[in-house]
Amino acid sequence: MKDIKKYISCSCESETILLQKFKGEDEVYLSLFARGLNIRRYGILDRIRHIWQILTKGFPYTDEIVLDKKRALELSNKLKELCK
């Protein structure tokens, strides 16, 4: 199985979640991008803040959650239940 990567933006497109699963690992990674993916929507100051975060922290996302297989399945089941 190859690495899996899926971006899901919120309805207002201001935030985005990145779901990742790496080949050979059981964990699922959820990364929250507070500025979303469409950086062109933001002014120059927001773009500079985004670049500064990457330069100083080494990553463009605000936070990351790592779920083991059991918790990833719990999240999946709860989302399915809520969307009925």
Q: What's the pLDDT band for 52 if we cut at 50, 70, 90?
A: confident
Mean pLDDT for the stretch of residues 9-33: 86
Q: How far apart are CA 81 and CA 84, in angstroms?
A: 6
Between 82 and 51, the higher pLDDT residue: 82
Rounded Cα–Cα distance for residues 46 and 44 (Å): 6
Q: What is the pTM of this model?
A: 0.69
Check residue 36 and give left, alpha or beta (phi > 0: left; psi -120 to 50: alpha): left
